[in-house]
Chains A and B, each alone.
Chain A
Amino acid sequence: MAMVDEPLYPIAVLIDELKNEDIQRRLNSIRGLSTIARALGEERTRKELIPFLSENNDDEDEVLLAMAEELGVFILYVGGVDHAHVLLPPLETLCTVEETCVRDKAVESLCRIGAQMKESDVVEWFVPVVKRLAAGEWFTVRVSSCGLFHIAYPSAPEQLKSELRTIYGQLCQDDMPMVRRAAASNLGKFAATVEPTFLKTEIMSIFNDLTNDDQDSVRLLAVEGCAALGKLLEPQDCVAHILPVIVSFAQDKSWRVRYMVANQLYELCEAVGPEPTRNDLVPAYVRLLRDNEAEVRIAAAGKVTKFCRILSPELAIQHILPCVKELSTDSSQHVRSALASVIMGMAPVLGKDATIEQLLPIFLSLLKDEFPDVRLNIISKLDQVNQVIGIDLLSQSLLPAIVELAEDRHWRVRLAIIEYIPLLASQLGVGFFDDKLGALCMQWLEDKVYSIRDAAANNLKRLAEEFGPDWAMQHIVPQVLEKVSNPHYLYRMTIIQAISLLAPVMGAEITSQKLLPVVITSSKDRVPNIKFNIAKVLQALIPILDSSEVEKTVKPCLVELSEDPDVDVRFYASQALQSCDQIMMSC
């Protein structure tokens, strides 16, 4: 065995562990591949390390994935772009692996390297790789090849280009649906590199074949191609070639295809322009909004605002709004929920009058929906409606909805509404808030569920930030401090938590006058959990308070706690004391 100099020892270990039995060690070595390469030098990396990696590719997927990733940024270590082609063989073999994520990463790295290679090198080295993969025996290899054409194509001379187009066409008709799917999902990228003349002829004919594929899973991906190709074609070509496909896809037998159309339709509208949108796509969209399948309606409802934005207000009011009205009473709660999360975005599109006349009733009915998710989605977008119609019109309906959600028996619903309280407060203003919501915020501090109490404490802090310390001094602090004598220690803990959150917002003076005394008193609590939490709170208060106060009040209290019989209390107290001393030192 060879002897190795001391400074090289770690690198030697790293190299040896490329073949260690433990997968973690091998993984670690692969991650350090750049260090190994630098230690070997560029020439030996090219002549030894890269061939070594090419040969030893029967490892676990995790290791292969890391290798595929590392090789993508390896040009630097093999001597620059001129030598980039040496990296292709190991990545080519990684493209054959059956685990999809490894192949995808290898393709990504190949693309990255190919994009940097000189044009002549692409033709000499990269194109042959693509052709070999496309003609591969197993479907995994052919799947990988589909993602490489857009890199190979631009550099290829005329004849080779035509060959590549032909090969791509064959991949789109492969026996294996997996290959056709890969070809369909990469078609947009490839088409973007193809010259306009061939785009209209060859690529469109490939695309047409895909749109008529027997496998639903292939047609699904062809829908995505519609948007991508639509953006590449001239508007009139798009209307001639893409529009009929979309219209027929919108009526496809498979709901999954229609679902994809519902998701993509607004992008297609942008591609085809306003006139065909009005004539063909609005009716298609209206059909999707009234689809038999709830999943399709969910997708369509979720895009209603985006779609309306590219229409004129008249069109939206005339065609889309009636559907929206129907959807607001849809039998599926998920449809109503999807609608509720976007419907407020329609307000600016429709303008104030239409919003008040038509949208508001829908909005109010959703606010009374029997499913909490629907109501929550409306409330979460409250700022949008406020801008259009103002809060006065709403508050009557809003308040009962909020109160009901605040007392919902599912704690996740209560949690969600708490999250929106600061938003509501900022929209509704101090006056409204004091009257109606203040009591609710206090009530949550005594919820049965910890997450709610925790969120409630945090909510108080955010309210104090929103309305300022003076307001908080009047409306929050007294009520909170009152609760510190709750007989149950878990509720007392919440109050301690609230105090520690409020202190930074309230500032030094209020903290030392109002909050600190309560904390100090609580340090005498009989429950150790309270006491060590007090120690933590005191530690947090140290930076806020002024040093004399710390010396006079905080420290003696901590000293006392540090002699507590309970080990945890002593631990946290001593930690707090330490940071106390540190701060004193730095002053």
Chain B
Amino acid sequence: MMGSESDAPPPPSSTPLDWKFSQVFGERAAGEEVQEVDIISAIEFNKSGSHLATGDRGGRVVLFERTDAKDNSTRKDLENSDYTVSHHPEFRYKTEFQSHEPEFDYLKSLEIEEKINKIKWCQTANGALFLLSTNDKTIKFWKVQEKKIKKISETNLDASNVKSNGFGPGLSLPNGDFSFPAGGFGSLRLPVVVSSQETNLVANCRRVYAHAHDYHINSISTNSDGETFISADDLRINLWNLEISSQSFNIVDVKPPNMEDLTEVITSAEFHPINCNTLAYSSSKGSIRLVDLRQSALCDNHFQLFEEHEAPGSRSFFTEIIASISDIKFSKDGRHILSRDYMTLKLWDINMNSGPVATFPVHEYLRPKLCDLYENDSIFDKFECCQSGDGSRVATGSYSNLFRVFESGSKEATTLEASRNPMRRQVPTPAKPVRSLPSITRVVGRRGTEAQVTDANGNSYDFTTKLLHLAWHPTENLIACAAANSLYMYYA
């Protein structure tokens, strides 16, 4: 009886969580300049939440592992872990590796940045971790494994005396005339290998999936069948088999015959977490399409379309720009899709295309500032979104290193700042202006004041410090978010 109670999702009218600072990695010391290459560009928890990966603009992938879980957990634990420990999850640095290097495409005279756009975890096997990482053009499949350090202590020949080697024309092995005694040669012995208890982590690039995208890859997503994944760029979505890097199949192509007719690009794509044949992709016009891979080889026709039409009177120059969806995420059970556009977070029921089941205002207070935002290009910032494992809460990032957490069924938001003191700033919702606290809310921008906008309430927003990337732990109330080069974690 009690067990079934605890499994049910919390009621929609749950009270806002009390978020507390948990950890920070790569914290910036006062006055320290942020190196461009250190800026975090991707965050992803694995399916069980036992590991976290971040990618940065320098093409590195950093892995963190959970420390409060048992180290020698079995596969079953890892696959569907359900931690009931009372203390909050903590992570520690595990390893890092250089995933991508800067390249130059000589045919197109284009520089290819090493920046990691997305990371996705794959199925764990044999205790090794597997993940996909991508920059603008090339996807790589990585295996990260602990290896015991081994030493060879005994050989037949003194290492310093070996002049030639066993292959090549230098030495010829005994041929047919050479007779082997029945008992073998007693003097020969196998090398003795001593393995120490020390281990080191080795990251191996197992496969490189390249040359399939003319435009920049914005998403990758693995299929529930465990053997395929997709990669999406502005105009096309390709389907790959994890084991085959030499070919991929184009399944969605929105490129018009004449590029001048182009009105809409793909901004994000994700596989349904359970149904292997369902794929969702979002567009710059604010629509989300569901396609069924079973229907045909080329999935140009969607079977479900989600879009919200702006009220006719409110159309402006910015309407289309702010409608562009920067990120979509399926809920864990695949029933809902969370989308982020410039102004809002929207939650859609995949069976209901008449409109979102919930809309959460994120940037409503910026509406009067759209002109400025357009001029400094901030209006094109691509904020990610995430949903709690039980689907009851959603979160997304904002400017001034702030992020907001919404309770489903309520428009109330908790606003937190990515710093050691997350509750330092309480940004008011525009409906309820509160007294300004300029001395506290003032954030010192790196580039001085020109990037700051002060709204009517005296709150200022720093458009150079934006919190684009964040992820919610799959089973716990733990959010990892990136503020420039620092990874902050908060729990509730």
Binding site for B on A (CB under 8 A): 1-2, 4-5, 7-19, 24-25, 28-29, 32, 35, 38-45, 48-49, 52, 55-56, 58, 96-100, 137-140, 175-178, 181, 214-217, 252-256, 292-295
Contact = CB atoms under 8 A, between A and B. Distances in A.
25 contacts: A1-B157, A1-B161, A10-B172, A10-B174, A12-B156, A12-B157, A13-B156, A13-B164, A14-B173, A15-B156, A15-B189, A16-B162, A18-B191, A29-B166, A55-B193, A58-B148, A140-B125, A140-B126, A175-B79, A176-B226, A177-B227, A177-B276, A178-B123, A253-B294, A255-B294
A177 B228 CA distance: 12
Nearest to A178: B226
B366 interface: no
Contact of A138 (B75, B174, B227, B276): B75
B171 interface: yes
Contacts of A254: 277, 293-294
Interface in B160-188: 161-162, 164-167, 171-174, 178, 180-185, 187-188
Interface string B185-229: 101111101000000000000100000000000000000111110
Contacts of B243: 100
A28 B294 contact: no
Contacts of B79: 175
Contact of A295 (B130, B167, B174, B297): B297
B227 A217 contact: yes
Nearest to A298: B297
B191 A217 contact: no
Contacts of A11: 173-174, 185, 188
Contact of B296 (A7, A38, A97, A255): A255
Contacts of A24: 167
A16 B180 contact: no
A58 B178 CA distance: 33
B71 to A, nearest CB: 16
A172 to B, nearest CB: 16
The 7 closest A-B CB pairs, nearest first, are A41-B184, A254-B294, A12-B156, A1-B158, A28-B167, A40-B184, A16-B155
Given A2-B157, A294-B297, 16 more contacts: A2-B187, A2-B189, A11-B173, A11-B185, A13-B162, A13-B164, A16-B155, A32-B173, A55-B193, A98-B125, A177-B225, A215-B225, A217-B225, A254-B277, A293-B296, A293-B297
A39 B156 contact: no
A323 to B, nearest CB: 20
Contacts of A1: 154-158, 161
Nearest to B296: A293
Nearest to A101: B243
B128 interface: yes
Given A52-B190, A138-B125, A39 B165 contact: no
B122 to A, nearest CB: 10
B4 interface: no
A195 B123 CA distance: 37
A97 B206 CA distance: 13
A43 B183 contact: yes
Nearest to B167: A28
A250 to B, nearest CB: 14
Interface in B272-294: 275-277, 293-294
Contacts of A252: 294
Contacts of A39: 180, 184-185, 188
B411 interface: no
A254 to B, nearest CB: 4
A289 B75 CA distance: 46
Interface in B122-166: 123-128, 130, 143, 147-148, 152, 154-158, 161-162, 164-166
Nearest to A40: B184
Contacts of B457: none
Given A98-B143, A178-B227, A5 B167 contact: no
B15 interface: no
Contacts of A295: 296-297
A184 B34 CA distance: 54
Contacts of B319: none
A35 B74 contact: no
Contact of B74 (A16, A137, A177): A137
Given A4-B157, A100-B243, A32 B166 contact: yes
Contacts of B189: 2, 15
Max chain B Cβ within 10 angstroms of own Cβ: one of A11, A35, A292, A295 = A11
B454 interface: no
B212 to A, nearest CB: 19
Contacts of B295: 253, 255, 292-293
A10 B173 contact: yes
Contact of B125 (A28, A139, A175): A139
Contacts of A58: 147-148
Interface of B: 74-75, 79, 123-128, 130, 143, 147-148, 152, 154-158, 161-162, 164-167, 171-174, 178, 180-185, 187-191, 193, 206, 224-228, 243, 275-277, 293-297
Contact of A98 (B128, B147, B161, B182): B128
A254 B275 CA distance: 12
Contacts of A177: 224-227, 276
Nearest to B179: A38
A43 B152 CA distance: 24
B190 A49 contact: yes
A209 to B, nearest CB: 17
A58 B226 CA distance: 24
Contacts of B162: 13, 16
B227 A214 contact: no
A139 B296 contact: no
B146 to A, nearest CB: 10
A137 B294 contact: no
Contacts of A18: 190-191
Contacts of A15: 156, 188-191
B225 A10 contact: no
A280 to B, nearest CB: 23
A237 B88 CA distance: 60
Nearest to A100: B243
A448 to B, nearest CB: 24
Given A16-B156, A38-B180, A8 B297 contact: no
Contacts of A96: 126
Max chain A Cβ within 10 angstroms of own Cβ: one of B178, B187, B188, B225 = B188
B227 to A, nearest CB: 6
Contacts of A35: 173-174
Contacts of B127: 138
A293 B228 CA distance: 21
A41 B182 contact: yes
A9 B161 CA distance: 12
Contacts of A4: 156-157, 187-188
Max chain A Cβ within 10 angstroms of own Cβ: one of B171, B275, B297 = B297
A292 B225 contact: no
A255 B191 contact: no
Contact of B277 (A12, A17, A41, A216): A216
Contacts of A294: 296-297
A8 B164 CA distance: 14
Contacts of A40: 184-185, 188, 190
A256 B241 CA distance: 15
Contacts of B167: 24-25, 28
Nearest to A5: B187
B182 A48 contact: no
Nearest to B147: A58
A58 B147 CA distance: 8
Contacts of A48: 190
Nearest to A258: B294
A262 B74 CA distance: 43
B162 to A, nearest CB: 7
A4 B157 CA distance: 7
A13 B226 contact: no
A147 B438 CA distance: 70
Max chain A Cβ within 10 angstroms of own Cβ: one of B166, B173, B178, B297 = B166
